[in-house]
Amino acid sequence: MGQAQCGRASALACVFGLLGAAAKLSGSRPLRWVAEVYTTVIRGLPELVLMLAIFYGGQILLNDLTDARGWDFIDVPPFAAGVLTIGIIYGACLTETFLGAILAVQRRQAEAALACGMSHLQVWRRVALPQMVLPQMVRHAIAGFANNWLVLVKATALVSIIGLDDMVHRANLASAATREPFTDFVAIATIYLAITTVSILLLSRLEPRYSLGLKAVSFQPWTGPSFSKACPTSAPACRCA
């Protein structure tokens, strides 16, 4: 799976993440319950198991539905199954990232909108969602998004098990022909390392850009109590310098 496929899976994950965060913040209890089940189940299962379940199980379920309606057989392409699976998996992770970023925005903005008579849906559409393009929102989401993006890029290596002709699949075929698996897979590892390194460099430039105007706070390490000067025991009140 190349960079274009990674981008599509990331875009789909962002869509699922925004929908999940909106559902968790909605006033509807069923929507909150569905979002909670989605994030809990998806994040609690291995990616490989989910990929196989969606590709094979989803294929069977889809064709059972088409048979019931008398439609023709539908063959799900491995590329679409891989993108969909990765989007669903990391959409659950981005749900929590976007949820934390939205909640980090000052609550008085939403409270002011509710005081003006807006519904919860209008507050989300007119106040919370536009904050996604503002520095105060992106500043809280960029770190979590960067981590999820790096893990997503590495997870694309798993799609070779469902027959997608990606770099890992071709390296496997080449190693079977040349009997030199170390050389082939080191080349693939180098490509992945280059992609993740460039991603880290680009994403590391975004956080300072969206943190302009904020005062940096430095913390001095605590070295423990100092006993260089002992207080006289006879003094009722002693202030050690």
pLDDT of residue 36: 92
Rounded to an integer, the average pLDDT of 158-163 is 73
CATH topology of domain 3-166: MetI-like fold (1.10.3720)
Q: pLDDT class for 213, splitting at 50, 70, 90?
A: low
The answer, yes or no, to whether residue 240 has pLDDT greater than 50, is no
In this prediction, residue 80 carries a pLDDT of 78
3-49 pLDDT tens trace: 556 778 888 888 898 888 888 888 788 899 999 999 998 888 888 88
pTM: 0.66
User: Which pLDDT score, from 0 to 100, does residue 119 have?
Assistant: 81
Euclidean distance between the first and final Cα of the chain, in Å? 64
pLDDT per position as a tens digit, 80-122: 777 888 888 888 888 888 888 777 765 677 778 788 888 877 7
Q: Where residue 139 falls among pLDDT bands split at 50, 70, 90?
A: low
Share the mean pLDDT of the chain: 75
Q: Where are the domains of the chain?
A: 3-166
